[in-house]
Amino acid sequence: MSKENIAEATKLVAEAKDALGIDASPSDVWALLQTKLSPSIPFEIHQLCYATVYEGIDDVKPAWIPTADIVANTNITKMMQQKSITTYQEFYDWSVNDRNNFWMTSMKAIGIQWQDEPKAAFKGDPAHITYFPGGRLNISDSCFGKRPLEDPAIVYSVESNARSLRNMSFGRLDALSNRIANGLFSKLKLQVGDAVGICMPMTPESIAIYLGVVKAGLVVVSVADSFSPEEIATRCRLSNAKAIFTQDVIYRGAKFLSLFGRVLKADAMIQAEKERSRNKSDFNDSKETKSDSGLDDDDICMRIIVLPGMLHANSYPEAVVDETNSTWSDKDAQGRDVLLHESVVAIMRENHDASWYDLLDGCSDTFERVPRDSMDACNILFSSGTTGEPKAIVWSHSTPIKCAIDGFYHQDIHIGDRVAWPTNIGWMMGPWLLFQLINGATIGLFNGITSTEGFCEFVDEAEISMLGVVPSLVKSWQARNATANCDWSRIKKFSSTGEASDPGTYLWLMSRVPGYAPVMEYCGGTEIGGSFLSSTLVQPNVPSMFSTPVLGSKILMMNAESEVILESAFETRSDGSGSGELVIVPPSIGLSTTLLNRDHYNVYFEGMPCGPAGEVLRKHGDEVEFVRSSSHTSKKNVSTPYFRALGRCDDTMNIGGIKVGSVEIERVCNLVDNIQETAAIAVSGPHGGPSKLVVYVVLENGTEEGSEGCDEDSLRNAMQNYIKAHLNPLFGISDVAIVQSLPRTASNKVMRRLLRDAYISSALKRSKM
């Protein structure tokens, strides 16, 4: 750290303290400093100010403190006023103690449109629940009608020219999705309830397709565009998809990646598997299975509808794009349709696969939405598979209400907000983002590599006001200083999901906005339809910590003996901190009720103890720590617990007789110089015995393995010193392995179980030698 930076930080802190007087708490001092620290001031100075202000405090260190104005304008405050509730704590308690009232009031506040409005939010026992009983709706209806038709529903760009924006209005989105819905019935002859895959990047068309499928009363099958043919096949087979939308190619980093080819292969795999099982059953019993038409249902392969990947790319010769905002055009400069990539045209199956244009040709812009029961499926999604086989989770027409209510309170989304979250329809945050249309938001979409300067420029140009992130993305932006030429002053808040984040990196993220912007950590899961643990704009924000359970979600925390250590969000059974497995006390709108590939009851309820008042409990499998802030917070800020995610319970280890989450160890190891990231695993010997701590290390870009301080022994010593100083001297590291990268799921989560397997098998080999 340079002498100048140290001097500047010392001066800034001293000035703030002088201005506030000696009674000021550290968070008061920070509240003033956050207004003085701009992104153009070296980050080192931000870090030093933060460390100085909170010197000697190790628990809750707010890096963003809301002003009275911000608090007053939140959706939470407005709802509290409507309900005559004065504190956030009371508001949360109301949301879980009077759940029916909370969900019905909130559902009305976000303007859900019903054909038959339900009278209650819940019916039945919590493990076999019906949401909004008697309600009939098509959830797509609620995505429209909040904004004038000419307002932008989507603002988007492609990587070849991030600063050149286009938008699709609500009117155009409605009309295009209507054409698609018409095409599904008239051209593809699909029926209400049929499943339709979407395997393509998040583009305006993929949003329109999703809405078109839902409007028609069909079910979207979410398939991430990064998947291999096997993975695509598994998802389409499990959900019995009758058709799938995809692109010819994906353009990324100036390269074309074939997508249609992968989907075609996936379909061939499904057919081959059907053929095999048919032969087997023919062999076992020779019963006739053909239908009246002579065709077995199984003979029908998926119809593939192919969109041109270059639809909006102005770097592509001849492809020009509509700049007028008001009409939909996918014509090139000569007025022709943008062509499908020639490699794809050659392999499309005649009479079976259709181009996007074939589907839309002659279809009307108007369509009468198909009303569905509140529990009818609208989307089949798949979990990431960090703990095993991905689960096929059914979202009903009620689930998006949870996405929108979470967004309304926790991301504080208002009509006219511009919301971006790099993701894909294949992951739950894709549909989550789409359903922020219910809150009247405009969705920001970037078709390209999002770890780049290009994406950061898009955020600036598109005037994004709520930016969603995943931790690995933020690490890449920080490493390449990707925001250097961007003005992110319109961002009012960030939100982060997917896996535990790193507080150092998130302080950097918050500091990219003049005056700082908070990060709403958002932890939940595909089967939750959103989150159970998050933050709000009415509470001080702490990097990588959650300030509250999500409104309407009741949680408990249990220790290994199934004893409750945190009963309600604000009443802990110990004064300081504690950690345990988080369990959910249902019901709550959004919690899944059906899995296609497992027994839902067995997965979430079987074997669970009862809650303290005899409540049914639902398992989730996350390890969470709660921490009460020590006396540093100002008297205004109630000392309620904050929460820290410690990772999946499966990744929790017992080292030296003490339970610790892998994420906790990694957080400390990541502080060592030259380390980009780490993964901590516990391994027992072949005959059991105490677990040994093994740390996998990825070195920072450009750091040579074996260079000074970067061999396994030196790294182990350095990490051990940090663990000793910041965590617990009893956590001794047994082994260190330097690797190029960590194995991740397609949604970017570290697969610690693969590392464990690999380590055990290599240790086994070594022991045999």
Cβ atoms of 394 and 595 within 8 Å: the answer is: yes
Smallest separation (angstroms) from ligand ATP to the CB of 386: 4
Q: Distance between CA atoms of 431 and 202, rounded to whole angstroms? A: 10
Name the strands in the sheet holding 418-420, side by side, starting at the edge strand that comes first in the sequence. 166-169, 152-158, 442-447, 418-420, 466-469, 493-496, 519-521
Q: Smallest distance from the beta carbon of 358 to ligand ATP, in angstroms?
A: 35
Two structure tokens written together for 43: 């980050």
Q: Which is nearer to ligand ATP, 457 or 677 (CB)?
A: 677
In angstroms, the CA 84 to CA 91 distance is: 9
Is residue 156 a contact partner of residue 447, using CB atoms and an 8 Å limit? Answer: yes
Question: Whole-number minimum distance, CB 647 to ligand ATP, in Å?
Answer: 6
The answer to whether 103 and 96 have CB atoms below 8 angstroms apart is no
Residues at the interface with ligand ATP (CB under 6 A): 383-388, 390-391, 496-500, 521-523, 525-526, 622, 645, 648, 747, 749
Q: How far is the CB of 539 from ligand ATP (least distance, A)?
A: 16
Rounded CA-CA distance 426/227 in Å is: 9
Q: By C-beta, is 313 or 474 nearer to ligand ATP?
A: 474
Q: Which of residues 444 and 647 has its CB atom nearest to ligand ATP in the complex?
A: 647
Q: Where are the beta strands (DSSP E) in 117-223?
A: 122-123, 130-131, 136-137, 152-158, 166-169, 195-199, 219-222
- Amino acid present at 626: F
Q: Give the span between the Cα atoms of 283 and 339, in whole angstroms.
A: 46
State which residue, 356 or 604, has the beta carbon closest to ligand ATP: 604
Give Cα 648 to chain centroid, integer Å: 16
Closest to ligand ATP by CB, 52 or 411: 411
CB of 534 to ligand ATP, least distance (A): 8
Structure tokens that stand for 474 in this block:
């933020």
For ligand ATP, which is the closer residue by CB, 550 or 645?
645
As beta bridge partners, residue 396 has: 377
Amino acid at 237: R
What does the alpha-carbon distance between residue 660 and residue 668 come to, in Å, rounded to a whole number? 12
What are the Cα distances from residue 430, in Å, to 159, 316, 449? 19, 27, 16
Decide whether 15 or 230 has the Cβ nearer to ligand ATP. Answer: 230
Q: What is the 3-state secondary structure (H, E, C) of 331-384?
A: ECCCCCECCCCHHHHCCCCCCCCEEHHHHHCCCCCCCCCCCEECCCEEEEEECC
Residue 651 CB, nearest distance to ligand ATP (Å)? 9
Our CB check for ligand ATP shows the closer of 217 and 407 to be: 407
Min dist CB 263 to ligand ATP, Å, is 22
Nearer to ligand ATP, 140 or 436 (CB): 436
Q: Residue 592: helix, strand or coil by DSSP?
A: coil
| Residue (478 or 526) nearer to ligand ATP, CB | 526
Q: Which residue has the tokens 């499998």?
A: 621
Smallest separation (angstroms) from ligand ATP to the CB of 475: 14
Q: Which is nearer to ligand ATP, 147 or 391 (CB)?
A: 391
Decide whether 185 or 506 has the Cβ nearer to ligand ATP. Answer: 506
Nearest Cα to Cα of residue 436 among 452, 414, 455, 456: 414
Q: How far is the CB of 693 from ligand ATP (least distance, A)?
A: 21
Q: CA angle at residue 678 from 675 to 684, to 5 degrees?
A: 140
Query: Looking up tokens 């802190």, which residue turns up?
Result: 13
Please report the sign of the dihedral spanned by the C-alpha atoms of residue 238, residue 239, residue 240, residue 245.
negative
Of residues 622 and 625, the one with the C-beta less far from ligand ATP: 622
Structure tokens at 118: 């339900």
Name the residue with tokens 């808040």: 493
- Smallest distance from ligand ATP to CB 618, Å: 13
Rg (CA), the chain: 27
Q: How far is the CB of 422 from ligand ATP (least distance, A)?
A: 15
* Residue 567: CB minimum distance to ligand ATP, A: 21
Q: Which is nearer to ligand ATP, 383 or 572 (CB)?
A: 383
Closest listed residue to residue 232, CA positions, set 242, 222, 220: 222
Residue closer to ligand ATP, measured from CB, 340 or 645: 645
Dump strand ranges (E) for 454-558.
466-469, 493-496, 519-521, 523-525, 530-534, 548-549, 554-558
- What three-state secondary structure class fits 310? coil
DSSP 622-672: EEEEEEE--TTS-TTS---EEEEEEEEGGGEEEETTEEEEHHHHHHHHTTS
> What SS3 class is residue 220?
strand
Please identify, using beta-carbon distances, which residue of 310 and 742 lies nearer to ligand ATP.
Answer: 742
Q: How far is the CB of 749 from ligand ATP (least distance, A)?
A: 5
* Residue in this structure with the two tokens 């695509």, named with its chain if needed: 232
CB-CB contact of 145 with 113 (8 Å): yes
Give the nearest distance from C-beta 502 to ligand ATP in angstroms.
11
The nearest distance, CB 521 to ligand ATP, in angstroms, is 4
- Give least dist CB 531 to ligand ATP, A: 7
Q: How far apart are CA 44 and CA 50, in angstroms?
A: 10
